[in-house]
Amino acid sequence: MVHPENTETTDPAETVITRMREQGISSLPRNYELVYRFLNSSNPALIQEFAALGRRPTQLQLDAIGMRFLPHLHPVSAVEQSLECVFEEMRKIIRLFKQDRSRLEKYSTLLGETSARMSAKGVRSLDFLDDLNRVLSSATVDTMEKSKAIIQQMVERALELARLKAELEEYKRLSGIDPVTRLSNRRAFDKRLAAIYEDLQTVVSQALLVADIDHFKAFNDAYGHQVGDRVLRATAAVMTRTLGSETFLSRTGGEEFAVILDDTSLEEAQATAERLRVAIESTPLKDQNDGVDRGHVTISLGLCMAADASGPANLYKKADAMLYEAKTSGRNQVKTHTPKMKRIMGLLKR
């Protein structure tokens, strides 16, 4: 087995790009991710298959490996390929049924012809009966053996069909998952965000939180992308523990996360956002590999109630504007979108 070279002493991005140039691989994002995984993977199958590509592999070869080991980068292609495999297996089963039906029809015709010969006058000799018996016995055994073989093939095709259907479901599931944090990805988030406005009765009790890790680029530059990914995973884990598995949580890109809160009021949503902020701030980032304490990270959050926006895009825009305000106001804080009338009423009460 060929293992990828050690990349701990060099910049991961530079190592990946150099490898791509040396091997003649086009600089597509999915190719970058595939090479990165090869260089940093402990998966022997991925290492072996990628190493076997040699110089200047075709994009088709790269995508074939990518669809197997990184299906989240090829959701459409993987699903289409798996669907085609399902249809092909179904076509094979149909062909087997037709073959068996054709064979049984021939057997039925032979039985009919034999019956007609037996009914004919003047054919009652023992030789004639022996001849009929040989024909029927041979045809019966042949038909049964071939039908048995077809049934076995049908069972095999059915098992393969079940496997492909399971594979298809897995591709569909992975197409909505972020590979680094294992949270829902931007595609799943956009779908869930749009669903908020499908039921006008529940809009008033839903809220959107967008969060961003403070100074993440500086942290990434200081420690490298591998440690940066660990920070993302650690942040996702703390957020999941704090919010509970029933709350929709996603990584929408880079160091940004989004949370959709159901059955909540403005005050409850603000309390949840603050609890999330404190939980992240209070969690030390201790590297499990080297035991080094990387300190703490903080997050900034923007909040908007769904009822205060006209639709999914507007809701995200308002929450994101509050996130920007939190970042520019010093970070590590929560900012909430407040409609103009509420702000005016608040000023009058002072």
- Report pLDDT digits (tens) over 261-319: 999 999 999 999 999 999 999 988 766 666 666 678 899 999 999 999 999 999 999 99
Strands across the sheet containing 299-305: 248-253, 256-261, 207-213, 299-305, 334-336
User: Are 299 and 317 in a shared domain?
Assistant: yes
Domain span holding position 84: 76-174
In a domain, residue 89? The reply is yes
pLDDT at 199: 85
pLDDT at residue 329 tops 90: yes
In a domain, residue 232? The reply is yes
User: Are 336 and 261 in a shared domain?
Assistant: yes
pLDDT at 192: 92
Residues of 154-171 as b/e, b for ≥16 C-beta within 10 angstroms? eeebeebbeebeebbeeb
Q: What percent of the chain has pLDDT over 90?
A: 29
In a domain, residue 5? The reply is no
- Domain stops at, among 118, 141, 174: 174
User: Are 109 and 237 in a shared domain?
Assistant: no
Strand partners, 253: 256
Query: Looking at the 3D structure of the chain, how many domains does it have?
Result: 3
pLDDT at 167: 61
User: Are 236 and 341 in a shared domain?
Assistant: yes
User: Are 155 and 195 in a shared domain?
Assistant: no
CA distances from 105 to 114, 140, 182 (A): 14, 12, 55
pLDDT at 125: 53
Token readout for 316 is 């995200």
Mind listing the pLDDT tens digit for each residue in 157-211?
Answer: 666 666 666 666 655 555 678 878 889 888 889 989 999 999 888 899 999 999 9
Instruction: Please give the average per-residue pLDDT across 117-139, as a whole number.
Output: 57
Token readout for 173 is 């599931």
Least confident of 47-56, 59-68, 120-129, 331-340: 120-129
In a domain, residue 90? The reply is yes
In a domain, residue 97? The reply is yes
Number of neighbours of residue 303 by Cβ within 10 angstroms: 27
In a domain, residue 6? The reply is no
In a domain, residue 4? The reply is no
User: Are 281 and 338 in a shared domain?
Assistant: yes
Q: What percent of the chain has pLDDT over 70?
A: 60
DSSP secondary structure string for all residues of 77-123: HHHHHHHHHHHHHHHHHHHHHHHHHHHHHHHHHHHHHHHHHHHSTT-
- Domain stops at, among 23, 48, 73: 73
User: Are 340 and 202 in a shared domain?
Assistant: yes
Q: What is the dihedral of CA 28, 31, 33, 37, to 10 degrees?
A: -170
Between CA 342 and CA 346, with CA 345 as vertex, the angle to 5 degrees is 85
User: Are 197 and 341 in a shared domain?
Assistant: yes
User: Rounded to an integer, what distance in angstroms lies between the CA atom of residue 66 and that of residue 35?
Assistant: 10
- Domain stops at, among 129, 148, 174: 174
Strands 334-336 and 299-305: parallel
Task: Supply the CATH number for residue 243's domain.
Answer: 3.30.70.270
pTM of this structure? 0.54
pLDDT at 43: 81
pLDDT at residue 154 tops 50: yes
Reported confidence tier of residue 78, pLDDT bands at 50, 70, 90: low
In a domain, residue 1? The reply is no
User: Are 254 and 338 in a shared domain?
Assistant: yes
Instruction: Please give the average per-residue pLDDT across 31-35, as a whole number.
Output: 83
Between CA 252 and CA 320, with CA 74 as vertex, the angle to 5 degrees is 10
User: Are 67 and 89 in a shared domain?
Assistant: no
User: Are 211 and 121 in a shared domain?
Assistant: no
Please give the mean pLDDT across all residues of the chain.
Answer: 77
pLDDT at 14: 75
User: Are 19 and 81 in a shared domain?
Assistant: no
Active-site residue list: 255
